[in-house]
């Protein structure tokens, strides 16, 4: 649900619906911390500060319902090595 690599309105609405419905913990999809990792726009990209407004949008949406959220940042070494080898 990423929009150009960042959380957007659609992702915020999705997670807010879970928070409103009583989910105990919202765990978002993982994001890539390096710009040379997987580069598709539908992956969350946390390699620059450009992602901060989107994450804030989601956090604010779930916090309105008293819930916490978790934003995992994962380096996918397997995909990184395959992608680098193909270049």
Which sign does the torsion angle of CA 55, 8, 60, 15 carry? Answer: negative
pLDDT of the residue at 1: 81
Domain presence at residue 70: yes
Between 32 and 15, the more confident residue is 15
pTM score of the predicted model? 0.73
Tokens of 1: 């649900």
Residue 75: predicted pLDDT: 62
3 within some domain: no
Q: Decide if pLDDT at 9 tops 90.
A: yes
CB 64 within 8 A of CB 18: no
pLDDT in tens, 36-48: 765 666 778 888 8
Structural domain of 81? 9-86
Structural domain contains residue 48: yes
Is the pLDDT assigned to residue 33 strictly greater than 70?
A: yes
Domain count along the chain = 1
């Amino acid at each position: 649900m990423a929009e150009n690599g960042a959380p957007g309105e659609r992702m915020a609405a999705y997670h807010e619906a879970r928070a409103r419905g009583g989910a105990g913990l919202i765990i978002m999809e993982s994001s890539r911390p390096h710009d040379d990792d997987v580069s598709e726009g539908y992956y969350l990209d946390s390699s620059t500060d450009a992602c901060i407004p989107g994450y804030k949008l989601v956090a604010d949406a779930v916090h309105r319902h008293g819930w916490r959220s978790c934003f995992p940042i994962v380096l996918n070494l397997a995909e990184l090595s395959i992608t680098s080898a193909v270049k």
